[in-house]
Chains A and B, each alone.
Chain A
Amino acid sequence: GAVVSQHPSRVICKSGTSVKIECRSLDFQATTMFWYRQFPKQSLMLMATSNEGSKATYEQGVEKDKFLINHASLTLSTLTVTSAHPEDSSFYICSARGPGQGNTIYFGEGSWLTVV
Chain B
Amino acid sequence: AQKITQTQPGMFVQEKEAVTLDCTYDTSDQSYGLFWYKQPSSGEMIFLIYQGSYDEQNATEGRYSLNFQKARKSANLVISASQLGDSAMYFCAMREGLSGSARQLTFGSGTQLTVLP
Contact = CB atoms under 8 A, between A and B. Distances in A.
Contact of A106 (B47, B95, B100): B47
A100 to B, nearest CB: 9
A49 B93 CA distance: 17
Nearest to A92: B43
Given A32-B102, A43-B91, A97-B100, A104 B107 contact: no
B33 to A, nearest CB: 6
Given A103-B50, A103-B99, A43 B110 contact: yes
A93 B107 contact: no
Contacts of B37: 107
Interface of A: 31-32, 34, 38, 42-44, 46, 49, 91, 93, 95, 97, 101-107, 109-110, 112
A106 B44 CA distance: 10
B35 A31 contact: no
Contacts of A109: 42-44
26 contacts: A34-B104, A44-B45, A44-B105, A46-B106, A49-B102, A91-B43, A93-B45, A97-B100, A97-B102, A101-B99, A102-B99, A102-B100, A103-B33, A104-B35, A104-B47, A105-B47, A105-B93, A105-B95, A106-B47, A107-B47, A109-B42, A109-B43, A109-B44, A110-B43, A110-B45, A112-B43
Contacts, number: 57
Contacts of B52: 103
Given A104-B47, A109-B44, A34 B105 contact: yes
Interface in B60-93: 91, 93
A14 B47 CA distance: 34
Given A32-B102, A43-B91, A97-B102, A105 B35 contact: yes
B50 A104 contact: yes
A104 B48 CA distance: 10
